[in-house]
């Protein structure tokens, strides 16, 4: 599966679990670590766990396993490393606090609501 196709699958899976503010950034020109970032929010620890478990289960059934998973739902931020795609699942509050989208360029946004992404990227 190509990296863009995999990122699109990640987006779809996150949406299936009602993840909020799902966005995807193409970072191939600026990152040597990955091709795409998929970023989304869950509204509770249970919701974050559900998103993570659905991603894991769906890809495991296809024989695809993450290289690493960091964080637990109670930490309010989970990163799933599938090499070509890094998936960040945040609580809404943690996503707002860390503002990782501020590290990414708006023109790298290839999926999601540009308005939501721009609100997240605003500098204090």
pTM: 0.89
The domains located in the chain, with CATH, are 3-121 (3.30.460.10)
CA–CA separation, 61 vs 39, rounded Å?
Answer: 22
pLDDT digits (tens, 9 = 90+) for 74-124: 899 999 999 999 999 999 999 999 999 888 888 899 998 765 555 554 444
Burial 19-54 (b: 16+ CB within 10 A, else e): bbbbbbbbbeeeeeebbbbbbbbbeeeebbbbbbee
């Amino acid at each position: 599966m190509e990296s863009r196709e995999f990122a699109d699958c990640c987006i779809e899976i996150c949406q299936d679990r009602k993840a909020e503010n799902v966005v995807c950034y193409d970072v191939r020109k600026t990152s040597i670590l990955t091709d795409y970032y998929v970023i989304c929010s869950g509204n509770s620890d249970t919701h974050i766990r559900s998103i993570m478990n659905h991603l894991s289960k769906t890809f495991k059934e296809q024989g695809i396993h993450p290289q690493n998973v960091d964080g637990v739902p109670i930490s309010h931020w989970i990163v799933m490393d599938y090499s070509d795609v890094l998936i960040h699942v945040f609580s809404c509050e943690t996503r707002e606090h860390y503002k990782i989208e501020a590290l990414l360029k708006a023109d790298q946004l290839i999926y999601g609501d540009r308005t939501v992404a721009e609100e997240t990227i605003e500098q204090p």
